[in-house]
Amino acid sequence: MGALIAAILLAALPLAAAAQGPGDLEAMAASNALYEDGRYEQAARSYQQLADKGYDDPALYYNLGNAYFKQGDLGRAILNYLRAERIAPRDGDVKANLDFARSQTLDVLESNEAPFVRFATGLLLRVTIGELGAVALALWLLFSACLLLAMIGPRHWLAWARPVTLAAAVLLMLGGGALAGRLYFDSASNEAVIVAEEVDVVSGPGSRYTPEFTLHAGAETGLMERRGAWARIALPGGSLQGWVPAADVEEVEAPRAAPSP
């Protein structure tokens, strides 16, 4: 049974890993050298090219965030730290730099979520979907195995198979619930970051509409929709929302494609 589980988990790993070329690692090393040399703009461009090729690596996003931060581009720095955090949520460096960059922003944005919701969300975001999925799958396999043994095994196996199956069922419910919650959060999340230095949020998709408030680089908002060259955003809590030029805001979780070989 253990071999079966291992085989399934290995088979579940993204097949695209095989598409990575050695030149990309060299490009990453060259980007790091540019950064060490203080040429942050060239470093950021080089990191960005790697990211645009389809890599979703936490170190890549972290370094890209650093390169933007050193240029004073607070919005794109926070954007890339957030992308790194999604992949490596327990990375202390990512968290430290994200906190530091957030402390430099000009806008105070308070979430009005209930403390319990904020706590539960914080716990869920400490693990990735892949980690939660693997745990939930392992629990499901354990539960299934116990159940099968109880059904088709000798009668005297029932003595231990029943409590183990029950325990596995409870764990499965917890793991499955966490996985479902995280999948829901990711599907419902529309986190975005203001990347312009300053932007007026207007009441409609056009510059002729009334400016309602102003945001600055690094402000974390929700992206509700895009309409042409304009994007509709909402601040945490949803009490303030409006339209900004689409180029001034970027989604944290942009749809990505695997790198082409």
Partner 1 sequence: MNVRALPTLMLALAALVSLLMLASPAAAQDSPISAEVDYTRVALDEILTLTVTVTGSTAMPEPNLPPIDWAEIISWSQAHQITNYNNAIATKAINHYRLQPTRIGSHAIGPISVEIGGQTYETEPIEVEVTRAGTGRVSPRPAPTPFVIPGLSPADVQDAFIVSAEVDNPSPYVGQQVTYTFSFLSALGFFGRPQGYEPPAFTGFWHREDPFWRDTRDIVGTRRYRGMEVNTLIFPAVEGAVTIEPSSISVPPSVFRRGRTLETNPVELEVRPLPDGGPDDFRGAVGDYRVAARITSGAAAANEPLALSLDIAGMGNLETLPDPEMPEIPGWRSFDGESSVHTQITDGNLTGRRTVERVYVPSAPGEFTIPAIPFSFFDPFAEEYQTVLTEPIPLTVAPSSGQEAALPPSDRDEVERLGADIRHIKPVPEELRPAGQPITGGIAYRLGWAAPLAAIAVAAGLKLYGRRQRDPVEARRRAAYRNAMRAIESPGSAGPADAAGAALSAYLGDVLGQGIAGMTQAALAEALSGHGAGEVLAGRVLDALSLSEGARFAPGIDPAGDSLLEEVRQLIADLEREINS
Identify which range of 32-40, 111-119, 189-197, 229-237 contacts partner 1 by CB under 8 A. 32-40
Asked if 164 touches partner 1 (CB under 8 A), the answer is no
Measure the CA–CA gap between 11 and 147, rounded to whole angstroms: 24
Q: How far apart are CA 232 and CA 48, in angstroms?
A: 25
CB closer to partner 1, 100 vs 119: 100
Strand partners, 227: 230
Q: Could you give the maximum distance between any two Cα atoms of the chain, in Å?
A: 79
Q: Please, are residues 217 and 168 in contact by the beta-carbon 8 Å criterion?
A: no
- Nearest Cα to 65, choosing from 87, 49, 43, 86? 43
Do the Cβ atoms of 120 and 174 come closer than 8 Å? no
- Using the rule CB under 8 A, give the single segment among 108-116, 135-143, 158-166, 228-236 that binds partner 1: 135-143
Q: How near is the Cβ of 145 to partner 1 at its closest, in Å? A: 7
Give residue 29's identity as a one-letter amino acid code.
Answer: A
Residue closer to partner 1 by CB (options 25, 229) is: 25
Q: Mask of contacts with partner 1, 170-189, x by CB under 8 A? A: ---------x---x------
Closest of 58, 76, 57 to residue 67, by C-alpha: 76
Chain center to CA of 82: 7
For partner 1, the binding residues in 9-28 under the rule CB under 8 A are: 9, 11-14, 16-17, 19-20, 24-25, 28
Residue numbers of the site for partner 1 (CB under 8 A)?
A: 8-9, 11-14, 16-17, 19-20, 24-25, 28-29, 32, 35-36, 50, 54-60, 62-63, 66-67, 69-70, 87, 93, 96-97, 100-101, 128-130, 133-134, 137, 140-141, 144-145, 147-148, 151-152, 179, 183, 256-259
